[in-house]
């Protein structure tokens, strides 16, 4: 069994926190196009939510990954996508590699305050010319004595306007593209770091997303996570948790939209009967609920294997792919049943329609997930086993 009574205790605490401290403010944060990350993260850190599976010596709870997955699933009950995504960046995207491979010194400086909620973190991988193609990043960190001097830029950085530090992937050598990169913790207040602009997005409105430039930014080499040249490998490992998190965070949000659509279509009348009474509607909603449960089973299976120390690249990739595709199909179908009201911004289904679209893009686009799977199956042209 993946979850126990201990999981349920934390789950109930998180549900109460979301109901009292997050959901009452979501509409205001969506209108403002930002939420107060430092204020919210400090509250979450004080309750232990930001370090469930992080080392005890740096303020975490030292629990296994199943607790982090449970939290990701519960965050899906937040009535928008932007806030849970920002929390996920803090817990499962910017900090896993640091927690696993960072020196004690760099973990004290960056991980501990991220767990306590005193620091807001962001992850710097994507660039204007290198989104899903991580190997093609151009940001450089050249060695100058005991320092790195960083030049380049990052794009689509969640938490970027509020972050205290960025987990930056940069080229630190001239070797092969998969062995010339390093992950570096860079304080956002460093001289030469510029938040160029806050991006105006279709969805995820309450989450701030930035374009960031680095111009001769000097940081000590001790800020590097693990070994030089291992950054690509560390990031690929980190992606396993990120992609599972992204899939798990969809589950409750999908179920919420199904429930809201059932309630709305039951009361909405057309041609002498409720919309829900039409077989095409209630059958479709039943199919969507089944798809959500199938996705949950896949995610739980992957989480069990991850807890057991196994490589879950294949299952995490499948879960991420399926979550994105299902989000597009489910919200599109449900919005249709809301009719004209579904096209207004005052309904939950329109927000879900906009927010869920990112799942097929962020953290590796659908097409990249398919490439990964085809490579593992030996069907990708040029891969072992392909014709």
- The CA-atom distances, in angstroms, between 241 and each of 88, 183, 369 are 10, 16, 14
Which three-class secondary structure state does DSSP give residue 238?
helix
> Taking the alpha carbons of 57, 63, 65, 70 in that order, is the dihedral positive or negative?
negative
Task: Tell me how far apart the terminal alpha carbons of the chain are, to the nearest angstrom.
Answer: 41
Q: How far apart are CA 243 and CA 238, in angstroms?
A: 9
Which three-class secondary structure state does DSSP give residue 334?
helix
Query: Could you tell me which of 381, 379, 375, 227 has the C-alpha nearest to residue 313?
Result: 375
Q: Note whether 207 and 249 are within 8 A (CB).
A: no
Continuous segment of H or E residues that includes residue 220: strand 209-220
- The CA-atom distances, in angstroms, between 232 and each of 102, 203, 256, 265 are 15, 29, 37, 48
CA 30 to chain centre: 18
Is 242 an annotated catalytic residue?
yes
Catalytic pick from 39, 242, 293, 346?
Answer: 242
SS3 content of the chain, % helix, strand, coil (to 5): 55, 15, 30
> Residue 386: CA atoms inside 13 Å, Cβ hemisphere, count?
13
- The CA-atom distances, in angstroms, between 121 and each of 112, 113, 117, 359 are 11, 10, 9, 20
Residue owning tokens 């409750």: 252
Residues labelled catalytic: 242
């Amino acid at each position: 069994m993946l979850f126990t009574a201990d999981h349920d205790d934390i789950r109930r605490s998180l549900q109460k926190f979301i109901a009292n401290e997050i959901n009452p403010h979501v509409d205001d944060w969506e209108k403002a196009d930002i939420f107060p990350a430092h204020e919210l993260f400090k509250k979450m850190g004080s309750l232990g939510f930001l370090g469930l599976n992080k080392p005890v010596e740096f303020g975490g709870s030292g629990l296994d990954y199943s607790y982090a997955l449970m939290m990701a699933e519960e965050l899906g009950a937040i009535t928008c996508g932007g806030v849970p995504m920002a929390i996920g960046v803090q817990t499962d995207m910017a900090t896993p590699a640091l927690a696993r491979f960072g020196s004690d010194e760099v973990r004290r400086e960056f991980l501990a305050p991220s767990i306590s909620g005193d620091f807001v973190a962001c992850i710097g991988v994507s660039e204007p010319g290198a989104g899903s193609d991580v190997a093609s990043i151009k940001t450089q960190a050249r060695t100058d004595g005991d320092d790195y001097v960083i030049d380049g830029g990052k794009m689509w950085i969640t938490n970027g306007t509020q972050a205290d530090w960025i987990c930056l992937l940069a080229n630190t050598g001239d070797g092969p593209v998969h062995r010339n990169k390093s992950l570096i913790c860079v304080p956002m207040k460093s001289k030469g770091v510029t938040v160029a602009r806050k991006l105006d997005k279709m969805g995820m409105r309450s989450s701030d997303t930035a374009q960031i430039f680095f111009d001769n930014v000097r940081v000590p080499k001790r800020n590097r996570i693990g070994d030089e040249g291992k950054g690509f490998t560390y990031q690929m490992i980190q992606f396993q948790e990120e992609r599972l998190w992204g899939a798990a965070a969809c589950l409750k949000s999908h179920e919420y939209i199904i429930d809201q659509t059932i309630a709305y279509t039951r009361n909405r009348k057309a041609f002498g009967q409720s919309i829900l009474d039409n077989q095409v509607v209630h059958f479709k909603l039943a199919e969507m609920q089944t798809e959500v449960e199938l996705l949950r089973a896949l995610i739980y299976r992957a989480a069990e294997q991850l807890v057991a120390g196994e490589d879950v690249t294949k299952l995490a990739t499948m879960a991420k792919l399926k979550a994105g595709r299902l989000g597009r199909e489910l919200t599109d179908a449900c919005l249709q049943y809301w009719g004209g009201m579904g096209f207004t911004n005052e309904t939950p289904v329109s927000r879900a329609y906009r927010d869920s679209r990112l799942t097929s893009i962020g953290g590796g686009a659908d097409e990249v997930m398919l490439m990964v799977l085809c490579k593992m199956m030996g069907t990708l042209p040029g891969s072992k086993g392909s014709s």
